[in-house]
């Protein structure tokens, strides 16, 4: 699957999707389903999909487990990014980020602002790297998942995307560990 005119081949990425919700089941999970459909439509592999409750330990444990799985290259969570008492996904995951991706949040909010205006400030979307695995924390609405995938992640997970993309740097995400710069989470 090489894009016409592109010197690079398409490389499928193995992506896990985690929905954080106290109220949804897989059958009712529109946001997780939106991501799963887009991942597969783009030619990537849906490596895993699950739902956990809005509990910091459960969220962190699931994501840590997936980041240690060699069959998973990236994790996308949906839900728990707001300001209510049950919204704890950023608190669960940001402390385990080895590297934060501030630009992800900034670009997500720019895209979101164009669609929902100032309401975008009610999301704490974030991204980072855990155990040499990309982790993205998205709001729990299908629209926000579409915005993040269509506006950022689809291109960044496409090796053909120039001038740079996530796929080309994946093999080097753990260089600090190889140099003795620390242990993974």
* Closest by CA position to 151, among listed 92, 104, 89: 104
Question: What is the distance of C-alpha 135 from the center of its chain?
Answer: 4
Confidence band of 140 (pLDDT split at 50, 70, 90)? very high
Counted residue by residue, the chain has a size of 185
CATH superfamily of 14-176: MoaB/Mog-like domain (3.40.980.10)
Q: Residue 30 has which token pair?
A: 């529109």
Confidence band of 185 (pLDDT split at 50, 70, 90)? very low
Per residue in 96-109, pLDDT (tens digit) is 999 999 999 999 99
Asked if pLDDT for residue 182 goes beyond 90, the answer is: no
Position with higher pLDDT, 46 vs 185: 46
Q: Are 14 and 44 in contact (CB under 8 A)?
A: yes
Q: What share of the chain is helix, strand, coil (3-state, %, to 5)?
A: 45, 20, 40
Strand partners for 17: 49, 76
State pTM to two decimals: 0.92
φ/ψ of 106, rounded to 5, equals: -65, -45
Per residue in 15-66, pLDDT (tens digit) is 999 999 999 888 899 999 999 999 999 999 999 999 999 999 999 999 999 9
């Amino acid at each position: 699957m090489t894009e016409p005119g592109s010197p690079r081949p398409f490389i499928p990425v193995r992506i896990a999707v985690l929905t954080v919700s106290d109220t949804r089941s897989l059958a009712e999970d529109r946001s997780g389903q939106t991501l799963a459909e887009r991942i597969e439509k783009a030619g990537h592999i849906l490596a895993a999909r699950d739902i956990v409750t809005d509990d910091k330990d459960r969220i962190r444990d699931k994501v840590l487990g997936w980041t240690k799985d060699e069959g998973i290259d990236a994790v996308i969570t949906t839900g728990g990014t707001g300001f209510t008492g049950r919204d704890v996904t950023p608190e669960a995951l940001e402390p385990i980020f080895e590297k934060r991706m501030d630009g992800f949040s900034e670009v997500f909010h720019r895209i979101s602002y164009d669609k929902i205006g100032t309401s975008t400030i009610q999301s704490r979307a974030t991204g980072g790297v855990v155990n040499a695995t990309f982790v993205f924390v998205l709001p729990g609405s299908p629209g926000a998942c579409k915005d993040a995938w269509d506006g950022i992640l689809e291109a960044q997970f496409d090796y053909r995307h120039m001038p740079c993309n996530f796929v080309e740097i994946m093999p080097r995400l753990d260089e600090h560990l190889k140099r003795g710069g620390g242990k993974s989470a």
